[in-house]
Amino acid sequence: AQSVTQPDIHITVSEGASLELRCNYSYGATPYLFWYVQSPGQGLQLLLKYFSGDTLVQGIKGFEAEFKRSQSSFNLRKPSVHWSDAAEYFCAAASGGYQKVTFGIGTKLQVIP
Amino acid sequence: DTEVTQTPKHLVMGMTNKKSLKCEQHMGHRAMYWYKQKAKKPPELMFVYSYEKLSINESVPSRFSPECPNSSLLNLHLHALQPEDSALYLCASSQSVGRVTEKLFFGSGTQLSVL
């Protein structure tokens, strides 16, 4: 079955520290991959997406993600976290001919001073 | 205008009530979606409308009835809901369906509580 796994439910980092959120996928072929962010009581906002080509993808708000086929991973990174980055982060994947996106369970990011 | 607007933001209803959730976008998107998100869970797809026609129903119970009156509006009619239907209901849109490269634009959701 197709699935997206985010092994870390909750992560706490200090402001200014680097961040890496993990995501693994299980699909028959390489799916399209996304990272979304959700602030409390809000909808989801797309941070970045990977379809093909360069395996290092740049997104909004200073985020980047690296696709590693050998590890079936698509980890999200940011070199220096800001307090405003505190939110829930969802990795997602899609395949096939229509926009059926499967979301991971999410990682809640807490940023401490 | 790059917003998807959902109303109401909060809704409390009894199990015998009938209510509707509304979603509106003016980006010219031809695909619209309903997602359900339970607390501390990821969003789950419920329905997809493409060019105002229902294209995907993810085996959603009939007490949820979607409607797409025109290309800018999407409704979700609720009737005889159960307490376990309490969740955040998210509307989303994209320029078209059938192309996975399309970006999804989400509304901020309606937080529904069923008593």
Q: Would you state the pLDDT for residue A27?
A: 84
Q: Take residue B110 and report the two structure tokens written for it.
A: 């309606």
Q: Would you state the pLDDT for residue A70?
A: 92
Q: Using 50, 70 and 90 to split pLDDT, how confident is the model at A99?
A: low
Tens digits of residue pLDDT in A10-60? 999 999 999 999 999 988 777 889 999 999 878 889 999 998 888 999 999
Contact B56 A42 (CB under 8 A): no
Which residue in chain B is spatially nearest to A107 when comparing CA positions?
Answer: B40
- Work out the minimum CA distance from B92 to partner chain A, whole angstroms: 9
Q: Take residue A80 and report the two structure tokens written for it.
A: 């220096």
Does A50 contact B at CB distance below 8 Å?
Answer: no
Q: Would you state the pLDDT for residue B63?
A: 96
Q: Take residue B95 and report the two structure tokens written for it.
A: 């320029």
Place of tokens 């119970």: B61
Tens digits of residue pLDDT in B4-28? 999 999 999 999 899 999 999 999 9
- Any residues with CB less than 8 A from the CB of A104 and at least 6 apart, and which? A4, A5, A6, A23, A90, A91, A92, B42
Tens digits of residue pLDDT in B47-103? 999 899 998 898 999 999 999 999 999 999 999 999 999 999 999 998 876 666 677
Does A27 contact B at CB distance below 8 Å?
Answer: no
Please classify residue A90 by burial: count the beta carbons closer than 10 Å to its beta carbon, then call 0-12 exposed, 13-18 middle and 19+ buried.
Answer: buried
Residue-averaged pLDDT of chain A: 91
Q: Would you state the pLDDT for residue B104?
A: 85
Name every chain B residue with its beta carbon within 8 A of the beta carbon of A100.
45, 48, 56
Name every chain B residue with its beta carbon within 8 A of the beta carbon of A42.
108-109
Q: What residue type is A76 in one-letter code?
A: L
Q: Which helix (H) or strand (E) holds B41?
A: none
- Any residues with CB less than 8 A from the CB of B62 and at least 6 apart, and which? none
